[in-house]
A and B are shown apart, each in its own frame.
Chain A
Amino acid sequence: DTGVSQNPRHKITKRGQNVTFRCDPISEHNRLYWYRQTLGQGPEFLTYFQNEAQLEKSRLLSDRFSAERPKGSFSTLEIQRTEQGDSAMYLCASSIQNTGELFFGEGSRLTVL
């Protein structure tokens, strides 16, 4: 399978715990995006990378969220001290620089109890 891969697919955690999600993009794609989506809403932008550089981060994103893409390949999204409001589907997408089409992974669903 050469699509975008995300894991874990589901994560249930208690409030206050830290969680980390991983995204493996399509191998030749140099852009990687993280979005968050709640039921009945469109994806909300969190951050994006071009190669290993984090070029933009949403102003709505609290300091509890951090993302890395250390070698310009896979990326991780960490949420510290989770809150119930963090419960959502976290979507990763990748693209080739000069095209607009985003290829999404299946998402990582987070439930904070």
Chain B
Amino acid sequence: GQNIDQPTEMTATEGAIVQINCTYQTSGFNGLFWYQQHAGEAPTFLSYNVLDGLEEKGRFSSFLSRSKGYSYLLLKELQMKDSASYLCAVRPNYGQNFVFGPGTRLSVLP
């Protein structure tokens, strides 16, 4: 079976750093993806990890440990516009569909 877990909600302060965790158990693994979804809008791609380690893209970084079935998304210098849901998704095998987690709703407070 496929199972992806994320915290339901998180709150952080503008300018701070927040880490959103994702654990997964899937029948295979061919990549982990993070998407951002603002309320009422479509998800948009943030990052992709297929090998262990940290991938950095500006204020956002994503980490993967395949042996632990674990990833996190790190957001630095938080801005109010970062208030959104963050979706972790796994592609179990190349060419297959993507399995999404429930999403973490992040609220950034002034």
- Does chain B have a CB within 8 A of A100? yes
Q: Roughly how many angstroms separate A91 CA and B87 CA in the complex, as a whole number?
A: 14
Q: Roughly how many angstroms separate A100 CA and B101 CA in the complex, as a whole number?
A: 16
Within 8 A of B (CB), among A33-78: 33, 35, 40-45, 48, 50, 55-56
**How many residues of B are in contact with the other chain, CB < 8 A?**
23
Within 8 A of A (CB), among B23-67: 31, 33, 35, 41-45, 48
- Does chain B have a CB within 8 A of A101? yes
Q: Are B41 and A45 in contact (CB under 8 A)?
A: no
Contact of B33 among A41, A50, A100, A103 (CB under 8 A): A100
Q: Roughly how many angstroms separate A50 CA and B42 CA in the complex, as a whole number?
A: 22
- Does chain A have a CB within 8 A of B70? no
- Does chain B have a CB within 8 A of A102? yes
- Does chain B have a CB within 8 A of A21? no
Supposing A102-B45, A105-B42, A106-B42 touch, asked if A44 and B100 sit within 8 A by C-beta, the answer is yes
Supposing A100-B33, A101-B48, A105-B42 touch, asked if A43 and B87 sit within 8 A by C-beta, the answer is yes
- For the side of the interface on A, what is the size category? 20 to 34
Q: Are B98 and A33 in contact (CB under 8 A)?
A: yes
Set of chain B residues within 8 Å of A56, measured between Cβ atoms: 96-97
9 nearest A-B pairs in the assembled complex, by CB-CB distance: A42-B100, A104-B42, A101-B45, A43-B100, A45-B97, A42-B103, A42-B102, A100-B31, A104-B43
Q: List 28 A-B contacts (CB under 8 A).
A: A33-B98, A35-B100, A40-B105, A42-B87, A42-B100, A42-B101, A42-B103, A43-B87, A43-B100, A44-B100, A50-B95, A55-B95, A56-B97, A91-B42, A91-B43, A100-B31, A100-B48, A100-B98, A101-B48, A102-B33, A102-B35, A102-B43, A102-B45, A102-B98, A103-B45, A104-B44, A106-B42, A107-B42
Beyond contacts A50-B95, A102-B98: 19 other A-B pairs, Cβ-Cβ < 8 A, are: A41-B103, A42-B87, A43-B43, A43-B87, A44-B100, A45-B97, A45-B99, A48-B97, A55-B95, A56-B97, A91-B42, A97-B95, A100-B31, A100-B91, A102-B35, A104-B42, A104-B43, A105-B42, A106-B41
